[in-house]
Amino acid sequence: MKNGEIIGQTAHQVTEAVGQRHDVLVIGGGNAALCAAISARRAGASVLVLEAAPRFYRGGNTRHTRNMRCAHDSATETLSGPYTEDEFWEDLKRVTQGHTDEELARHMIAQSKEMLTWIVDQGVRFQPSLGGTLSLGRTNSFFLGGGRAMLNALYATAEQLGVEIRYDAEVVGLEIEDGMFLSATVKEQTGTSQVRAGALVTASGGFEANIDWLKQGWGEIAGNFLIRGTPYNRGTILRILIDNDIQQIGDVTQCHAVAIDARAPKFDGGIITRLDCVIYGIVVNKNCERFYDEGEDIWPKRYAIWGRLVAAQPDQIAYIIFDARSLELFMPSLFPPIKGDSIAELAGQLGLDPDKLTDTVATFNNAVQPGTFDPDNYDDCTTAGLTPPKTHWARKIEQGPFYAYPVRPGITFTYLGVKVNKEARMIMSDGKPTANMFAAGEIMAGNVLGQGYAAGIGMTIGSVFGRAAGQGAAKYARN
Amino acid sequence: MHATSALAEADRLMTVCNSCRYCEGICAVFPAMEMRRAFSDGDLNYLANLCHGCSACYYDCQFSPPHEFNVNVPATMAKVRAESYEAYAWPQFLAPTFRRNGLVISIATCLSVFAFIVGFVALRDPSVLFGVHVGPGAFYKLMPHNAMAVLFGAAFLYAMIAIAMGIRNFWRDIGEPASTLTKPTSLWQAIKDASSLRYLDGGGVGCMNDEDKPTDTRRFYHHLTFYGFLLCFAATTTATGYHYLLGLEAPYPWYDLPVLLGTLGGLGLVIGPIGLLRAKYQRDSELVEARSYGMDVGFLVMLLLTSITGLLLLVLRATPAMGMLLALHIGIVFALFITMPYGKFVHGFYRFLALVRYAKERGDAH
Measuring CA to CA, how many Å separate A417 from each of A33, A436, B293?
A: 16, 18, 52
Scanning A118-137 for CB atoms below 8 A from B yields 125, 127-128, 130-132
On whether both A70 and A162 belong to a single domain, the answer is yes
pLDDT at position A4, please? 37
Residues A388-408 as b/e (b if ≥16 CB within 10 A, e otherwise) read ebbbbbbbebeeeebbbbbbb
The bridge status of strand A47-50 relative to strand A164-166 is: parallel
A125 neighbourhood in chain B, CB within 8 Å: 203-205
CA-based nearest residue in chain B for residue A156: B213
Give the distance from residue B54's alpha carbon to the nearest chain A alpha carbon, in angstroms. 13
B24 neighbourhood in chain A, CB within 8 Å: 127, 130-131
Q: Residue B114 sits in which domain range?
A: 92-365
Q: Span B232-245, mean pLDDT?
A: 93
On whether both B181 and B83 belong to a single domain, the answer is no
pLDDT at position B366, please? 67
Distance CA B290, CA B288 (A): 6
Residue B322 has pLDDT above 80, yes or no: yes
Q: Is B87 helix (H, G, I), strand (E, B) or coil?
A: helix
On whether both A398 and A421 belong to a single domain, the answer is no
Residues present in chain B in total: 366
Asked if B282's CB is within 8 angstroms of A1's CB, the reply is yes
Angle, CA of A391, A395 and A396, to the nearest 5°: 125
DSSP-derived letter for residue B216 is -
On whether both B76 and B121 belong to a single domain, the answer is no
Q: Which residues of chain B have a Cβ shorter than 8 Å from any chain A Cβ?
A: 15-16, 18-26, 31, 34, 37, 56-57, 59-63, 66-69, 202-205, 210-213, 215, 282
On whether both B220 and B163 belong to a single domain, the answer is yes
Distance CA B71, CA A326 (A): 28
On whether both B73 and B99 belong to a single domain, the answer is no
Beta bridge partners of A141: A68
On whether both B20 and B131 belong to a single domain, the answer is no
Sign of the CA dihedral A257, A259, A263, A264?
A: negative
On whether both B78 and B121 belong to a single domain, the answer is no
- The neighbour count for residue B284, using CB atoms within 10 Å, is 17
B51-103 pLDDT, tens digit each = 999 999 999 999 999 999 999 999 999 999 999 999 999 999 999 999 899 99
pLDDT at position B141, please? 86
On whether both B199 and B53 belong to a single domain, the answer is no
Comparing CB atoms, the residue among B66, B203, B211 nearest residue A144 is: B203
On whether both A44 and A171 belong to a single domain, the answer is yes
Asked if A328's CB is within 8 angstroms of B15's CB, the reply is no
Comparing CB atoms, the residue among B21, B59, B62 nearest residue A270 is: B62
Q: With beta carbons less than 8 A apart as the criterion, state whether A61 and A44 touch.
A: no
Distance CA B80, CA B84 (A): 6
Asked if A149's CB is within 8 angstroms of B211's CB, the reply is no
A124 neighbourhood in chain B, CB within 8 Å: none
Sign of the CA dihedral A42, A48, A52, A55?
A: positive
Distance CA A29, CA B204 (A): 26
Comparing CB atoms, the residue among A1, A64, A142 nearest residue B62 is: A64
On whether both B81 and B97 belong to a single domain, the answer is no
Q: Report yes or no: A344 at the B interface, CB cutoff 8 Å.
A: no
A3 neighbourhood in chain B, CB within 8 Å: 210-211
Sign of the CA dihedral A144, A148, A150, A153?
A: negative
Task: Specify the CATH number for the domain of residue A373.
Answer: 3.90.700.10
Distance CA A339, CA A324 (A): 10
Q: With beta carbons less than 8 A apart as the criterion, state whether B58 and B287 touch.
A: yes
Q: Report yes or no: A19 at the B interface, CB cutoff 8 Å.
A: no
B37 neighbourhood in chain A, CB within 8 Å: 328, 332
Asked if B25's CB is within 8 angstroms of A127's CB, the reply is yes
Give the distance from residue B26's alpha carbon to the nearest chain A alpha carbon, in angstroms. 6
Q: What is the pTM of this model?
A: 0.93
B14 neighbourhood in chain A, CB within 8 Å: none
Helix pair B41-50, B5-20: axis angle to 10 deg: 70
Residue B330 has pLDDT above 60, yes or no: yes
Give the distance from residue A455's alpha carbon to the nearest chain B alpha carbon, in angstroms. 15
pLDDT at position B134, please? 85
Asked if B202's CB is within 8 angstroms of A131's CB, the reply is no
Asked if residue A133 is part of any domain, the answer here is: yes
Task: Please write down the HEC assignment for all residues of chain A.
Answer: CHHHHHHHHHHHHHHHHCCCEEEEEEECCCHHHHHHHHHHHHCCCCEEEECCCCCCCCCHHHHHCCEEECCECCCCCCCCCCECHHHHHHHHHHHHCCCCCHHHHHHHHHHHHHHHHHHHHCCCCEECCCCCCHHHCCCEEEECCHHHHHHHHHHHHHHHHCCEEECCCEEEEEEEECCEEEEEEEEECCEEEEEEEEEEEECCCCCCCCHHHHHHHHHHHHHHCEECCCCCCCCHHHHHHHHCCECEECCCCCEEEEEEECCCCCECCHHHHECCCHHHCEEEECCCCECCCCCCCCHHHHHHHHHHHHHCCHHHCEEEEEEHHHCCCCCCCCCCCEEECCHHHHHHHHCCCHHHHHHHHHHHHHHECCCCCCCCCCCCCCECCCCCCCCCCCCCCCCCCEEEEEEEEEEEEECCEECECCCCEEEECCCCEEEEEEECHHHHHHHCCCCCCCCCHHHHHHHHHHHHHHHHHHHHHHC
Task: Specify the CATH number for the domain of residue A43.
Answer: 3.50.50.60
Angle, CA of B53, B59 and B63, to the nearest 5°: 110
Burial of A53 (0-12, 13-18, 19+ CB in 10 A): buried
Best of A9, A268, A277, A334 to disrupt the B interface (most B CBs within 10 Å) is: A334
Measuring CA to CA, how many Å separate A163 from each of A9, A45, A52, A152, A158?
A: 12, 9, 16, 14, 5
Domain end among B59, B88, B117: B88
Closest CA to A30 of A186, A154, A215: A154
Q: Report yes or no: A56 at the B interface, CB cutoff 8 Å.
A: yes
Distance CA B310, CA B235 (A): 12
Give the distance from residue A149's alpha carbon to the nearest chain B alpha carbon, in angstroms. 5
Domain end among A366, A394, A410: A410
CA-based nearest residue in chain A for residue B278: A1
| Beta-carbon pairs below 8 A across chains A and B | 97
B106-123 pLDDT, tens digit each = 999 999 999 999 888 887
DSSP for B241-278, please give it: HIIIII-PPSSPPTTSHHHHHHHHHHHHHHHHHHHHHH
Distance CA A17, CA A20 (A): 5
A156 neighbourhood in chain B, CB within 8 Å: 212-213
pLDDT at position A19, please? 56
Domain end among B30, B60, B88: B88
Asked if A332's CB is within 8 angstroms of B15's CB, the reply is yes
On whether both A352 and A455 belong to a single domain, the answer is no
On whether both A402 and A424 belong to a single domain, the answer is no
On whether both A46 and A67 belong to a single domain, the answer is yes
Number of domain units in chain A:
2
Beta bridge partners of A126: A143
Q: Residue A322 sits in which domain range?
A: 258-410
Asked if A328's CB is within 8 angstroms of B215's CB, the reply is no
pLDDT at position B128, please? 81
Domain end among B88, B113, B140: B88
Asked if residue A1 is part of any domain, the answer here is: no
Residue B7 has pLDDT above 60, yes or no: yes
Q: Report yes or no: A268 at the B interface, CB cutoff 8 Å.
A: yes
Best of B12, B36, B62, B286 to disrupt the A interface (most A CBs within 10 Å) is: B62
Closest CA to A375 of A294, A275, A279, A306: A279
On whether both A217 and A234 belong to a single domain, the answer is yes
Closest CA to A139 of A97, A57, A84: A84
Domain end among A388, A410, A432: A410
Asked if B56's CB is within 8 angstroms of A149's CB, the reply is yes
Closest CA to A289 of A342, A194, A353: A353
Single-letter amino acid code for the residue at A355: D
- The neighbour count for residue A81, using CB atoms within 10 Å, is 11
Sign of the CA dihedral A388, A392, A397, A401?
A: negative
Asked if B60's CB is within 8 angstroms of A149's CB, the reply is yes
Asked if A148's CB is within 8 angstroms of B21's CB, the reply is no
The bridge status of strand A433-439 relative to strand A191-202 is: parallel
Residues whose CB falls within 8 Å of the CB of residue B238, separated by 6 or more in sequence, listed in order:
B257, B258, B261
Burial of A459 (0-12, 13-18, 19+ CB in 10 A): buried
Number of domain units in chain B:
2
Give residue A468's Cα distance to chain centre: 20
A29 neighbourhood in chain B, CB within 8 Å: none
On whether both A116 and A221 belong to a single domain, the answer is yes
Best of B12, B15, B24 to disrupt the A interface (most A CBs within 10 Å) is: B24
Asked if B205's CB is within 8 angstroms of A148's CB, the reply is no
Comparing CB atoms, the residue among B19, B203, B213 nearest residue A331 is: B19
Closest CA to A199 of A33, A437, A36: A437
On whether both A239 and A296 belong to a single domain, the answer is no
Low-confidence ranges of chain A (pLDDT < 50): 1-18
Distance CA B148, CA B329 (A): 13
Asked if residue A9 is part of any domain, the answer here is: no
Q: With beta carbons less than 8 A apart as the criterion, state whether A262 and A227 touch.
A: no
B189-223 pLDDT, tens digit each = 999 999 999 999 999 999 999 999 999 999 999 99
Asked if A6's CB is within 8 angstroms of B25's CB, the reply is no
> Radius of gyration (Cα) for chain B, nearest Å?
22
The bridge status of strand A47-50 relative to strand A21-27 is: parallel
Asked if B210's CB is within 8 angstroms of A2's CB, the reply is yes
Give the distance from residue B243's alpha carbon to the nearest chain A alpha carbon, in angstroms. 48
Best of B22, B69, B73, B213 to disrupt the A interface (most A CBs within 10 Å) is: B22
B23 neighbourhood in chain A, CB within 8 Å: 145-146
Domain end among A351, A386, A410: A410
Give the percent of chain B with pLDDT over 90. Answer: 85
Closest CA to A238 of A413, A430, A68, A96: A413
Give the distance from residue B365's alpha carbon to the nearest chain A alpha carbon, in angstroms. 12
Residues B132-158 as b/e (b if ≥16 CB within 10 A, e otherwise) read ebeeeebbbbbbeeeebeebbeebbee
Q: Report yes or no: A331 at the B interface, CB cutoff 8 Å.
A: yes
Asked if B19's CB is within 8 angstroms of A271's CB, the reply is yes
CA-based nearest residue in chain B for residue A143: B22
On whether both A435 and A403 belong to a single domain, the answer is no
